[in-house]
Structure 1
């Protein structure tokens, strides 16, 4: 999520009415923070699929359940720190951050709780456009790719092929894969999800070669036909050395992470978020309205909610009407 963003270090808060103050781990703990029982604070990591999930849930919490909702834009790692400090209630889309769960979960600080699957299956990998795979079918295998890295040469990479990465903070083992499989590729960072999509779209319009990091759920998968490069299947420990990774990415069963105090309070907002699951297609539908159809996130969420009542009514907890 893309990720997806394991090593992000910059905290960016764009919420209204919420100041996130990071304090030391020896200071205030989650159970010492007073939470407004009528308010829910949701972390929003910076990729559009996550934003789609957050906006839909916020719309239902506000309009159907009469909660105040604060959507807080924050990178992945700082969102765990915020949850640990008691100023965030939920992370909606966790991309396999075992290191962070070890630090903040039951075996660590005890401030984070695994909320179970959110219904999305996360797939990260290397992709090429289908038109390129049709012309050079061998490049969808490791050996075929190794023999054809010259296809991806650019002025920036010289004699080496270009591997178009997303942003430096994304969950990534790409350099380790380049090293392990002895691929003559140089990583070039697009800088963001949006910038990467723009560049891939530009090259696809001219049917130019491009090899890039990408993932699902992602609405762009429905616009351009992409083919995933086939690497040896992930096995436990194959990514232990980030400089030498001789396997593909694992498939992530994306899950929710709750603040322990939010779970203990066990109110209707928690039960609603605990009940919530939806599919990659659901998320992609909302994300595409935001990213490709110039709708604001709240507008896209409202459209999806209006058209899919039979889905989200299943998330509503028993007795939620009593608080209205």
Structure 2
């Protein structure tokens, strides 16, 4: 008995020595930040990008042990600073269509890198109707089919015409929607309604869906509206970049033309030093792409609870563990989960 106990004790001692003497596992190595530099993450001005900034900041801080800072950002100033100064380190949802040439040059010269598509199936922009309206009128799949039926979408203030809900004054989408309204020659049978603000547009859409009324409206995604309300995007034919460019340029003198809205690329952009100095962090960001529907869904929480970006991010981390834990090694996931309690 004594001999066996001693044997077990000896075996345990050997096992303990071996365990404490072994080098860190590959997973433990992958759970390290890899750089002492602060990884500053751009929090853009729109809800999806802001929420993503807080999601990634939490995972890098609590999971990888990085020094992280969230900084205010927007497409042009963020990309310009990243290209010239290497900061911010990461822009988790960078729409590159507005900075196409400068960004492509930076990638080619090696000052910045695209680590992933932030929105894996591309951004959405176009004209929508409720799913329940299309279920009642299954032929309404194209813009032309809807335009031929203004009676289904009567203007509350002028029932002799239909109503198309456009964008608020000053937004680029106001130009594109107005141009398509002209190109489709809708003036005789449709009114183009311009809401006073984004909130007013959202309220009009929410009211129609709550009452299950038909509505034709411009919108874009990922957004809480498209996550909350089952809308169907209308087909508008092929995308014609030159026509779209003219439709959104107030100085273009060509007649407005019919074109589908392009899907703008939204990428995880980073300063090149992140890839070079913190390869595990770069590898993490290569896996974080979400679909339009997934991002719209995460925004619904913020919309319904009047939650800020940080609270929206925390809700995602708590309720979508099956999604984000697939982005990281188990050791990182365990640390973040422990922090969430």
Same fold (TM over 0.5): yes
Change in Cα spacing, 1:118 to 1:75, as seen in structure 2 (3 Å) is: closer
State whether residues 163 and 188 of structure 1, in contact with CA within 8 Å, keep that contact through their aligned partners in structure 2: yes
Q: CA-atom RMSD, angstroms?
A: 3.7
Counterpart-to-counterpart distance in 2, 1:190 and 1:269: 43
Among 161, 184, 189, the alignment partner of 1:181 is: 184
Decide which of 216, 224, 237 is 1:219's aligned counterpart: 224
Q: Does 1:71 align with 2:77?
A: no
Does the residue aligned with 1:233 lie in a helix, a strand or coil? coil
Structure 2 contact 38–67 (Cα < 8 Å) conserved: yes
Partner in structure 2 of residue 153 of structure 1: 155
Structure 1: unaligned runs, 5 residues or longer: 1-35
Give 1 or 2: higher helix fraction: 2
Q: 1:269 to 1:305 in 2, by over 3 A?
A: same
CA distance in 1, matches of 2:302, 2:56: 15
Whole-Å Cα distance in 1 between the matches of residues 257 and 94 of structure 2? Answer: 22
When the two structures are superposed, what TM-score results if normalisation uses the length of structure 2? 0.68
Q: Secondary structure at the match of 1:212?
A: strand
Question: Deviations for 1:90-142, whole angstroms, at most 9, x for unmatched residues?
Answer: 22223451x51312432699544333312432221101223444555555433
> Is the Cα–Cα contact under 8 Å of residues 129 and 210 in structure 1 kept in the other structure?
yes
In structure 2, the partner of 1:248 is 260
User: What per-residue deviation string (whole Å, max 9, x for no partner) do you get for residues 156-192 of structure 1?
Assistant: 9x97834332574456732332232222243514533
Matches within 5 A, 1:195-206: 195-206=200-211
Counterpart for residue 166 of structure 2: 164
Q: Return the TM-score normalized by structure 1.
A: 0.71
1:228 to partner: Cα distance: 1.7
Structure 1 residues 243-287: Cα deviation after superposition (integer angstroms, max 9, x where no partner):
634221233453222224444444543332233223334323421
Contact 1:105 1:113 in 2 (8 A): no
**2:49 is the counterpart of 1:45:** no
How many aligned residue pairs are there? 284
The answer to whether 1:92 aligns with 2:96 is no
Per-residue Cα deviation, 1:296-323 (whole angstroms, up to 9, x for no partner):
43333234324444533443379989xx
- Equivalent residues of 2:228, 2:297 under 8 A apart: no
Larger Rg: 2
Q: What residue number does 1:115 align with?
A: 115
